[in-house]
A and B are shown apart, each in its own frame.
Chain A
Amino acid sequence: MFLLLFIINIYAIDLRAFDTPNDDGSGITINWQTYQNYQTFAIYRSTEPSGIFEKIGEVEGSENRFLDTNIKTGQEYYYKLNARQDTLIDSSRVVGPIKSQVQYFNTARLPMAICIIILFAAILFYISQAKKRGRLFIRKIPALNAVEEAIGRATEMGKPVLYVPGIMDIDDPQTIASMSILSRVAEKTAEYGTPLYVPTSRSMAMTMAQQVVKEAATRVGRPDWYNIDNIRYITDDQFAYVSAVDGIMVREKPATNLYLGTFYAESLILAETGHSTGAIQIAGTAMPDQLPFFVAACDYTLLGEELYAASAYLSQEPVQLGSLKGQDLGKLIFIGVIIIGVLCQIFSYQFFINLFNTIE
């Protein structure tokens, strides 16, 4: 009878331990299932199956998982679990040996790697096509077509152009994209001799913007036009920066305002102030929550991906346009995958869906 109760108690806790997947070999995961409720679980570990087990942790009864990170990679370990309910203690069987190993590829990120490889291949294919065939057809982006018109308007009115490259530093891809567009804008403003103001909220972005504008002016044969004082650092503080840029708008009354980069709550404050000064406004950001504000307050808006495509579009270089074409092919592939996913979900075909379940 006693033996039977002992066996029942052992199998009341289903304990499993395994090398934590996709880590650097520093963890063993222990999880368990129980067939009754317990208050706490104490986890024990030993290097021998019949050796002395030391307690390595205790978790609440609501938990069913423990990550042991205090281990030596490659060393074999054995685990057992004590579950407590008031004065009653149930023990699990001993599981092991388990040893952790260094992982050299994160399999959870495999679908992501495949997506990137497909997209890279599509882009490289179209770049090579563009090199062979020359110019490719790319749909018109009205906001970018309006850039030259807006600069021309500022020139005719004898007023400056204001370029706001967002509030993030150059480690943000949107700031990099913005700097590429700034280069094209600076070329045009230098060509027309129109002053260009670039207030920045990060000093590294300021240095980059100065270099970009200087090179652009030199490229179009107008190095004398470049004025280093027009590209200045304001402050890292979000709202102090906004008040300074608003001040420039109200005092200098630029005829054209370009907001291209990363924006947060300041987007609408900037755009509405610019609207009140009567400037033509073109905005672009990849922050989905800020897009409605720009759409409402600006004349033209670059929606998300168009910000990244802007520099390639403005350059009209076949190689750069080829990369946009490849991006569109990638988009088509992903649309196909989404449709297949929806159909598989409707018809309960799990294999295809499970391919994407491992994405972190």
Chain B
Amino acid sequence: MKTIIPLIIVFACGFYMLITFFIPARFAQASSQTLQNWYLGVIAFFVFIGIFNLIRINVDKIQRRLRDWQYSFILLFFLGVMLGAGFIGGRDSRIFLYFFENFQVPLGATMFSLLAFFVASASFRAFRAKTPEATLLLIAAVVVMIGRIPIGYLIWHGFPDLVEWIMQVPNTAAKRGILFGIDLGLISMALRVLLGIERSYMGGARE
């Protein structure tokens, strides 16, 4: 019963959502929206579980003085500050906005900007012309890079058009091929899940 009841719920809800996708009538759209709203309600509840897990693990780390426990202390301190500021003054309170705009936003931007360096190092490895395919990739990448910058146009007026062709024809064709496969794979997996053939995501494999 522990497996059967969730499977019945998955089957019923999944197929119902699939059928309502094809029915524009109000009762179908409203009921599918209700199901989605229930999901949002469940998500809201899970925020507390996440915060509880975060606090439990970091408090334990501090108590046992595990390696880098000081970072856990800083994390819990700021978690408390942000929660307090949010509860007392709302999301527009000065303290809340101060920490958000001066800590979280710049730290996030810093992580994001690391991408520039990682793109360079990854490209260096990917573009080494070891095989014919890698050589082709290298040539295409060099053409695209040169064609995207103003000097490319000065070297040869046809570069921007060539770049456009590479992006619109071979690149788009490959991307669409992958997307086709993804969609078919998704439908196949959805059917496995709905029919209960695939159930390892629930914790239990097939008995």
Contact = CB atoms under 8 A, between A and B. Distances in A.
Interface of A: 22-26, 102-106, 109, 113, 116, 119-120, 123-124, 127, 169, 171, 173, 176-177, 179-180, 183-184, 202-204, 206-208, 211-212, 214-216, 219, 229, 232-240, 242-243, 251, 265, 268-269, 271-272, 286, 288, 291-293, 295-297, 303-309, 311-312, 315, 317, 319-320, 323-324, 326-327, 330-331, 334
Closest 9 CB pairs of A and B: A203-B50, A305-B185, A308-B185, A215-B203, A296-B126, A183-B200, A305-B181, A239-B111, A327-B188
Contacts of A105: 22-24
A307 B183 CA distance: 12
B50 A173 contact: no
B175 interface: yes
Given A109-B22, A183-B203, A269-B115, A288 B122 contact: no
Contacts of A109: 21-22
B189 A308 contact: yes
A272 B197 contact: no
Given A102-B26, A183-B205, A207-B46, A243 B107 contact: yes
Contacts of A116: 18, 187
A23 B26 CA distance: 9
A179 B181 contact: no
Nearest to A109: B22
Contacts of B50: 202-203, 206, 233, 236
B139 interface: no
Nearest to B40: A171
A323 B205 contact: no
Given A109-B21, A207-B46, A232-B57, A173 B118 contact: no
Contacts of B189: 173, 176-177, 308-309
B60 A229 contact: yes
Given A180-B201, A214-B203, A304-B178, 4 more contacts: A124-B191, A212-B201, A237-B108, A269-B118
Given A288-B178, A288-B179, A311-B198, A240 B23 contact: no
Contact of A296 (B54, B125, B193): B125
B186 interface: yes
B77 interface: no
Contacts of A271: 122
B122 A297 contact: yes
Contacts of A102: 24-26
Interface of B: 18, 21-26, 29, 39, 42-43, 46-47, 49-51, 53-54, 57, 60, 67-68, 104, 107-109, 111-112, 114-115, 118-119, 121-123, 125-126, 175, 178-182, 184-193, 197-198, 200-206
Contacts of A308: 182, 185-186, 188-189
B18 to A, nearest CB: 8
A25 B25 contact: yes
Contacts of A269: 111, 114-115, 118
B22 A106 contact: yes
A119 B197 contact: no
Given A102-B26, A296-B125, A330 B184 contact: yes
A78 B190 CA distance: 46
Contacts of B186: 173, 286, 305, 308
B200 A204 contact: no
B190 A173 contact: yes
A203 B49 contact: yes
Given A119-B187, A123-B188, A323-B191, A268 B118 contact: yes
A286 B182 contact: yes
B199 to A, nearest CB: 9
Contact of B122 (A202, A296, A334): A296
A58 to B, nearest CB: 28
17 contacts: A26-B26, A202-B46, A232-B57, A239-B111, A240-B108, A265-B115, A268-B118, A286-B182, A286-B186, A295-B126, A296-B126, A304-B181, A305-B186, A307-B185, A308-B189, A311-B200, A330-B188
B95 to A, nearest CB: 19
Contacts of A243: 107, 111
B24 A23 contact: yes
Nearest to B61: A229
A92 B68 CA distance: 78
Contact of A24 (B24, B68, B191): B24
B104 A237 contact: yes
Given A183-B205, A315-B200, A323-B191, A169 B24 contact: no
Contacts of A309: 185, 188-189
A23 B60 CA distance: 56
Contacts of B39: 171
